[in-house]
Amino acid sequence: MKEKIKVSALFSLVAAFAFGVLTLNAANMTLTGEVSDAMCGAKHPIKDAVACTKACVGKGSDYALVVKGKAYTLKASDKEKADLDKLAGKMATITGDVSGTTITVASVKMAAAH
């Protein structure tokens, strides 16, 4: 009986640790940058960033947010994608869970003018 309790306690401890590690990987953050696409990132092959972003997204690329030269792929709902489409090539403030170079978008708004 004591052996079962020890095994059960050990399993619970391992599960709690694994869950903690998974939740530490994603951090809720607010970032401001230029709305682009994941295919081009910070460097569009054409000068018109708006047209390039919309064309690449139309071909299946995800939207991206370029912050200080670093591109974050945006995982967004249809409503958020519609907002991002309006802000293509413009500055936006995105709030969401950041994991590596991917942001699961919670909100999208036009960046405040400086």
Domain ranges of the chain: 26-110
Q: Please tell me the predicted confidence (pLDDT) of residue 35.
A: 97
pLDDT, tens digit (0-9, with 9 covering 90-100), for 43-73: 999 999 999 999 999 999 999 999 999 999 9
Q: What is the pLDDT of residues 19-44, one digit of tens each?
A: 444 445 678 999 999 999 999 999 99
Give this prediction's pTM. 0.76
Can you tell me whether residue 61 is helix, strand or coil? Answer: coil
CATH class of 26-110: mainly beta
According to the model, what pLDDT value does residue 20 have? 46
Q: What is the DSSP string of 68-114?
A: TTEEEEEE--HHHHHHHHHTBTSEEEEEEEEETTEEEEEEEEEPPP-
Size of the chain in residues: 114
10 Å CB burial of residue 45 (0-12, 13-18, 19+) is exposed
